[in-house]
Amino acid sequence: MQLLRRIGLVLLWLAAPVVAFAAANKNDPYLLPLRGAGNIALAVASIMIVTVLLRRKHWRSTAGKLLVMLWCLPPVLMSAAHLKFELRKHDVLAASPAEARQLGPHFMVGYPSYPEVARLAEEGLIGGVYVTRHNIRGRTVEALRAELAALQDIRRAAGLPPLVVAADQEGGIVGHLAPPLTKVPALATLSGLAPDDQQAKAQEFGRIHGRELAGLGVNLNLAPVLDLKPPTRRNRLDFHTLIGQRAIATDPAVVSTIASAYVRGLEESGVGATLKHFPGIGRVRTDTHHFSANLDAPVKELEATDWLPFREVLSHSRSALMVGHVTLTAVDPDRAASHSKRVVEGIIRDTWNYQGVVMTDDLVMGAIYQHDVCKAAVEAINAGVDLLLVAYDGAQFYRVFACALNGSRRGKLDAAMLRASAARLERGFPTEQARAALLTRSTLEIARAAPRAMARGG
């Protein structure tokens, strides 16, 4: 019995700093699973442990007093972290209408709470929303469709432009709304077909995605992936990028052919495409969801290979361009491409003359968030990025928006860049077509027709 008590005390000493760290960082994206009930459980467990330690008179010794104090910390640190979050949230929600109009259109957010995102939409603090698994889990397609329509109604009543509504339906392993939407194979499965068959099947895949997304109220798909398939296996720490399974092919011409046809299928349904992840992550072994990553290839080599599909598809579509969080060392070794003026303005805008919508990859990814996300947000806007994506953890919107708001108030934002970006956003997406598309056909009918259409394509 004495041995068990000693083991228990050792475990309490080891657990106390871990729990305190988790409490102090309760709002960190990595601790998202602990939010809500998890935080309450930590606080209750800490209080119970303190109570047991006091009843057993551990406070009489110096070591015992220290242990009691350590277990008193988690609720205090958690309260302080919550207060900091609420103060930042209050500051964002108190932004003036002029500040909201200036900055709001440049933010796209994922959301777990409809009432909260409805307020952001009504006050013009966001320009778009991102829907994913948790928005559809345990719900019907009709419920999510009604929710998105209600958000657009709120915008209309407030005299604001429609929201950009984005989803991530690539096909294959990335299809965050499938089920209940149709699960379409990865575009990579088409790479071995004859060119005509590649185009026919890819366009049909795009139509299936486009019709279902448009019927739901989604007007922007975060697809297709244009990174070239890596010639070697990724490292074992690649838990989320998995580009080898998502990339279409190693041959830029094949990627261009399939991606172009897929984009045509999407656009026929009034849904915009997003080409990702420029400047390319096929050569990068590091998972930017968690770590910084460098792309060390020379620009001339990238222009002749990795960038060919991007330029080809952009030349004959209205696609948006997503910039990833890899550092293009030959152009700007000091910051990721997603907030590099040399990359966005120097290459995409000036060299390529692309004047469409550029968006960041999710700013909650470790390659950005675990560094100076405030600096990245300001630099991205000043570089000519149009949309800042805060997808995985929508609560981080308040932190990122506060960064931009503070930058604006301190005169650190380029007003000319903001005006040019606002003009691009205004003409950038076929939102009205998407809202009007397929309203006479139910998503269920489309889902039944999709497998037959794929079967006919061979």
Active site residues: 289, 361
Cα dihedral sign for 201, 206, 207, 213?
Answer: positive
**Helix or strand holding residue 43 (H, E):** helix 37-55
Closest CA to 102 of 70, 78, 124, 85: 124
23 Cβ contact partners less than 8 Å away, ≥ 6 residues apart: 39, 42, 43, 46, 73, 74, 75, 77, 78, 81
By DSSP bridging, strand 169-171 and strand 174-175 are antiparallel
Question: Rounded to the nearest 10 degrees, how much is the dihedral formed by the CA atoms of 126, 405, 426, 361?
Answer: -70
Q: What are phi and psi of 414, to 5 degrees?
A: -80, 105
Helix%, strand%, coil% for the chain, nearest 5: 55, 10, 35
With beta carbons less than 8 A apart as the criterion, state whether 381 and 356 touch: no
User: Quick one: tokens of 197?
Assistant: 């068959």
Measured in residues, the chain has a length of 458
With beta carbons less than 8 A apart as the criterion, state whether 326 and 284 touch: yes
Closest CA to 369 of 386, 389, 348: 389
Cα dihedral sign for 293, 294, 300, 304?
Answer: negative
DSSP 340-403: -HIIIIIIIIIIS---S-EEESPTTSHHHHTS-HHHHHHHHHHHT--BEEE-S-GGGHHHHHHH
